[in-house]
Chains A and B, each alone.
Chain A
Amino acid sequence: MMKYLSLILLGLIGFTSCNKDGCIDPTALNYDPNAENDDGTCVYLAENLNLSVYSKLGQADFAYNTDVVTDGGRTIKFTRAQMYMSGFTFNGTGGGYQLLNPHALIKPEVMEYNLGYLPQDMYTSFSFTAGVDSASNHMDPATFSAASALSSNNPDHMHWGWDPGYIFYVLEGLVDTSAAMNGLVDAPFIFHVGTDIHKVDLAFVSQIDASSDSVNVSINIDWLKLLDGTDMTAEVDSRSTHTMNNPPLATLMVANLDEAISLHQ
């Protein structure tokens, strides 16, 4: 017994006498106030990492309550469009870096989103998830800080209030469901799509110089393209899904994400 106690005591003495390695620069992102030896791991920041989102309806700029035609020939108008993005990760010479505040709620009427800090580096690609990462998706929205896009204090937040979690994508509007497609745009369409299986990982190759104080990345979202392949008729199931009640329509919309979101050149 005494032998073990001695070993533990020696271990403790040895541990406490070591000078801890780490980042000792207080201006660095990963500054460690307990570190005494600089181990060269300091990460410095580039401020104001900005995401610019260009919302489109085909080639045209996005506009609510404006007639547009789907690939199926239906005339529609959007009244609401929102989408969560999460897990923004940038790949540079120093490896991958995931942003500390990874959630953004994208709306066509808002173009600029501040995503927080990105370490100085030369990045060659970035990726994010359309939707909400699985861990966050099953957290109580009341427990996020009020500033978070996921917080239920946020008036725009989208959550079902049950285990499936957040509504990742919301598309609402009116559609001409007539067989003759006579242009009377009066039937509601609702796409509320979520659940873990419907988040989509997207990656883009792009040279991003984050050596300056300000960094910007730009993407396009073609909200109309999300409805490709639909044929919204008088049959409600053809134009309404809350995901769990109509999975095929949710899956159809999600399949369009890859082409609907692109790098803005």
Chain B
Amino acid sequence: MKQLAFINNRRFFHRLGKSTTGCIAAAILLSGCQNDVAQPYNQQIPAWFPELEIPADNQLTQERIDLGKRLFYEPLLSLDSSVSCATCHQISKAFTDGLTISEGVDGVLGLRNAPTLANIGFSPTLFHDGGVDNLELQSQQPIFSDMEMKFSIAGFLDRIEEDESYVQMFMKAYERAPDAFGISRAIAAFERTIISGNSRFDQFYYEADENVLSESEIRGMALFFSTENKCADCHQPPLFTNFEFENVGLYSAYPDSGRARITHLSSDNGKFKVPTLRNIELTAPYMHDGSMSSLQEVVNHFNEGGVGHINQSSDVQPLSLSEQEKQDLVAFLASLTDELFISNSDLMY
């Protein structure tokens, strides 16, 4: 009965109801061009998603997104031209890389597991520790990092100095020659188009298609949204995260202090940003350090209630789920996969 009540209470929305356009900004930005007209970008966002906030100096235009996509897939941004953004953020894996810890130039290991970029534009903070609050700054970090691209923007600019196609794209997008401003803004613009909101869960829950989920998945959904299990307290729909920082009791002593590296507060030790669960089936391994290889392992961890770290979230408590319930929960998580998202040619290069 509880399950039926839950389903009857769902809200119905029309898909793709929201759109944002960069018409005004585009008109202003390209008013000096004689022959080029900025292509306003009609951002398609599911109606059940929140508003996408976009900085005033980087409103979306087709030219900016095109440039950003080229840069996102550009290995010349790395020291030995071997690593691009897409190396660690592969569309087939929902913009993760399948590795425990991501590798940079020369195979040097980074610090953490690559997070998905699905719906990253909605995230008020970035990185597992929330150390950055805007995509424009974040997009520069991998270029500088010795553990990622190990290069410099100046070095990249030297490489593309003779590439007239790049110069034209920068001029059309930002009315300036290639530079750090244009690079960081363009990559951020492209990343704001990485939107995933068409999973079978979305079709079932928001579009009233009752035939897309199996019985097991529906049971799993009820378990997920149960106030006793508290999964949705942190993994709140529609983005399946509340963007807060939590310690989920992985370790009694965390080798990586997480959020405390930013705040220097001992109360933040072992806290990491609550990740989205959208496309979670595709983003193994799990946790900030990639220490869990399967969703079954993750569900087991939460069912057991964590190790009891002093900063552990009060929501992480033993759940007493049966084996069938754990299977149902994993089945529901798999219903959050968005097949159209990972085959979206607009996000490929």
Give chain A's interface residues, CB within 8 Å of chain B.
Answer: 140-143, 146, 151-155, 157, 159-164, 244-245, 247
A160 touching B179, Cβ below 8 Å: no
Among listed B67-75, B150-158, B324-332, B334-342, interface-contacting one: B150-158
- CB A155 to nearest CB in B, in angstroms, measures 4
A sample of 9 cross-chain residue pairs with beta-carbon separation below 8 angstroms, ordered by A number, consists of: A141-B180, A152-B153, A153-B157, A162-B127, A163-B131, A164-B262, A244-B262, A244-B264, A245-B261
Interface string of B151-194 (1 = CB under 8 A from A): 01111010000000000000000000001110111000000000
B262 touching A163, Cβ below 8 Å: yes
Please report the C-alpha to C-alpha distance between residue A181 and residue B86 in the assembled complex, in whole angstroms: 45
B140 touching A142, Cβ below 8 Å: yes
A160 touches which one: B144, B154, B180 (CB < 8 A)?
B144
Q: Is B138 an interface residue, CB under 8 A from the partner?
A: yes
B144 touching A159, Cβ below 8 Å: yes
Q: Which residues of A contact B181 (CB under 8 A)?
A: 142-143
B145 touching A140, Cβ below 8 Å: no
Q: Which residues of B contact A161 (CB under 8 A)?
A: 132, 137-138, 140-145
Q: Which residues of B contact A160 (CB under 8 A)?
A: 141, 144
Q: Which residues of A contact B132 (CB under 8 A)?
A: 161-163
A152 touching B142, Cβ below 8 Å: no
Q: Which residues of B contact A159 (CB under 8 A)?
A: 140, 144
B138 touching A152, Cβ below 8 Å: no
Q: Which residues of A contact B134 (CB under 8 A)?
A: 140
Please report the C-alpha to C-alpha distance between residue A155 and residue B151 in the assembled complex, in whole angstroms: 9
Using known A-B contacts A142-B184, A153-B153, determine if residue A163 contacts B179 with beta carbons closer than 8 Å.
no
B142 touching A153, Cβ below 8 Å: no
Give the A-B contact count at a CB cut-off of 8 A. Answer: 70
Q: Which residues of A contact B143 (CB under 8 A)?
A: 161
- CB B145 to nearest CB in A, in angstroms, measures 7
Please report the C-alpha to C-alpha distance between residue A146 and residue B133 in the assembled complex, in whole angstroms: 23
Counting chain B CB atoms within 10 Å of each CB, which of A140, A143, A157, A161 scores highest?
A161
Please report the C-alpha to C-alpha distance between residue A157 and residue B142 in the assembled complex, in whole angstroms: 14
Q: Which residues of B contact A141 (CB under 8 A)?
A: 137, 140, 180
Please report the C-alpha to C-alpha distance between residue A154 and residue B153 in the assembled complex, in whole angstroms: 8
Q: Which residues of B contact A146 (CB under 8 A)?
A: 179
B179 touching A162, Cβ below 8 Å: no
B179 touching A153, Cβ below 8 Å: yes
- CB B41 to nearest CB in A, in angstroms, measures 21
Please report the C-alpha to C-alpha distance between residue A163 and residue B129 in the assembled complex, in whole angstroms: 10
Give chain B's interface residues, CB within 8 Å of chain A.
Answer: 126-127, 131-134, 136-138, 140-145, 152-155, 157, 179-181, 183-185, 257, 261-262, 264
B137 touching A162, Cβ below 8 Å: yes
Q: In the complex, which residue of chain A has the Cβ closest to the Cβ of B133?
A: A163
A152 touches which one: B140, B185, B261 (CB < 8 A)?
B140
B136 touching A140, Cβ below 8 Å: yes
- CB B148 to nearest CB in A, in angstroms, measures 9
Q: Which residues of A contact B184 (CB under 8 A)?
A: 140, 142, 152
Q: Which residues of A contact B179 (CB under 8 A)?
A: 142, 146, 153
Q: Which 7 A-B pairs give the minimum distances between C-beta atoms?
A: A161-B141, A155-B154, A162-B131, A244-B261, A142-B180, A152-B180, A162-B132
Please report the C-alpha to C-alpha distance between residue A75 and residue B145 in the assembled complex, in whole angstroms: 28
A151 touching B180, Cβ below 8 Å: yes
B154 touching A140, Cβ below 8 Å: no
Q: Which residues of A contact B131 (CB under 8 A)?
A: 162-164
Please report the C-alpha to C-alpha distance between residue A247 and residue B155 in the assembled complex, in whole angstroms: 31
Please report the C-alpha to C-alpha distance between residue A151 and residue B179 in the assembled complex, in whole angstroms: 10
Please report the C-alpha to C-alpha distance between residue A162 and residue B142 in the assembled complex, in whole angstroms: 10
Q: Which residues of B contact A245 (CB under 8 A)?
A: 257, 261
- CB A168 to nearest CB in B, in angstroms, measures 15
Q: Which residues of B contact A163 (CB under 8 A)?
A: 131-133, 262
A247 touching B264, Cβ below 8 Å: yes
- CB B339 to nearest CB in A, in angstroms, measures 33
Please report the C-alpha to C-alpha distance between residue A245 and residue B185 in the assembled complex, in whole angstroms: 29
Using known A-B contacts A142-B180, A143-B181, A146-B179, determine if residue A162 contacts B138 with beta carbons closer than 8 Å.
yes
Q: Which residues of A contact B141 (CB under 8 A)?
A: 160-162
Please report the C-alpha to C-alpha distance between residue A47 and residue B32 in the assembled complex, in whole angstroms: 37
A141-B180, A161-B143 known, 10 other contacts, Cβ within 8 Å:
A141-B140, A142-B137, A152-B153, A153-B157, A155-B152, A161-B132, A162-B127, A162-B138, A163-B133, A244-B261
- CB B234 to nearest CB in A, in angstroms, measures 22
Q: Which residues of B contact A157 (CB under 8 A)?
A: 152
B144 touching A153, Cβ below 8 Å: no
Q: In the complex, which residue of chain B has the Cβ closest to the Cβ of A167?
A: B144
Using known A-B contacts A142-B140, A162-B132, A162-B141, determine if residue A153 contacts B155 with beta carbons closer than 8 Å.
no
- CB B72 to nearest CB in A, in angstroms, measures 16
Q: Which residues of B contact A164 (CB under 8 A)?
A: 131, 262
Q: Which residues of B contact A162 (CB under 8 A)?
A: 126-127, 131-132, 137-138, 141, 262
- CB A79 to nearest CB in B, in angstroms, measures 13
Please report the C-alpha to C-alpha distance between residue A32 and residue B37 in the assembled complex, in whole angstroms: 40
Q: In the complex, which residue of chain A has the Cβ closest to the Cβ of B140?
A: A161
Q: In the complex, which residue of chain B has the Cβ closest to the Cβ of A243?
A: B261
Please report the C-alpha to C-alpha distance between residue A163 and residue B124 in the assembled complex, in whole angstroms: 13
- CB A89 to nearest CB in B, in angstroms, measures 28
Q: In the complex, which residue of chain A has the Cβ closest to the Cβ of B154?
A: A155
- CB A210 to nearest CB in B, in angstroms, measures 34
Q: Which residues of A contact B183 (CB under 8 A)?
A: 142
Q: Which residues of A contact B152 (CB under 8 A)?
A: 152, 155, 157
Counting chain A CB atoms within 10 Å of each CB, which of B133, B137, B138, B153 scores highest?
B137
Q: Which residues of A contact B133 (CB under 8 A)?
A: 163
